[in-house]
Structure 1
């Protein structure tokens, strides 16, 4: 368990601490997929740019007098197949990571909203209810998780 969550001693019960731990884990999972997705976007853009530059300098500039000659040169060069496979592969991987990122974001947002909705149940005692803002501030400061409102 995270040390700031462990230090919440009397402000929350063990079940609430576990819920807070789960929301932190889901936020980290979402951020990991977000970083990976962004990296694959840039790699895909780079591969496509290199592929177009390669096509321009090897085919378009040399065989621009005839489309049939350009097509024949494109098919005869095995590097084009390699670039095309890499481009399609990275595009597919980028879309796969986008789906995983969106799923992780939905899971994180749903759990965060559940904490906001159930805050009266999670902090039932009068003194716990009065100190819940300290828990919310700690989550916002340490993990950038807003538990005050449901909106992102």
Structure 2
């Protein structure tokens, strides 16, 4: 369990601390997929640009007089096929990471909204209800998780 969540002894019960721990895990998972997707996206853009520039310089400029000669020159070099496959696979990886990022974001947002909806049940006593803002502030400051409002 995370140290700041463990320090919430009197303010929360064990179930609430476990829910806060799970929302932190989902947020970290979402952030991880978000950063990997961003890296894959920029790598795809960069590699695609380099590939098309290479094709332009090595195939399109010298053989621009005929499409058949351009196609023949493209097919004759096996490196073109491998670069094309690599670029397409990188594009597929980018889309796969985008889907995983969206799924992780939905899971994170659903659990965060569940905590917000159940806050009256999680902090039932009067003194717990008055001190819940310290828990919300700690989550916002340490993990950038907003438990005040359901909107992102």
Same fold? TM cut 0.5: yes
2:58 maps to which residue? 58
2:148 maps to which residue? 148
1:33-112 aligned within 5 A: 33-112=33-112
- Flag as ranges the 4+ runs of structure 1 deviating above 4 A: none
Distance in 2 (CA, whole Å) between partners of 1:68 and 1:85 is: 21
2:24 maps to which residue? 24
Offset of 1:34 from its aligned partner?
0.2
User: TM-score scaled by structure 1?
Assistant: 0.98
Consecutive unaligned residues in structure 1, runs of 5 or more: none
Count of residues in Structure 1 that have an aligned counterpart in Structure 2 = 152
User: TM-score scaled by structure 2?
Assistant: 0.98
The C-alpha deviation readout for 1:82-126, integer Å capped at 9, x for no partner, is 111001101111111111100000000000000000000000011
Offset of 1:9 from its aligned partner?
1.0
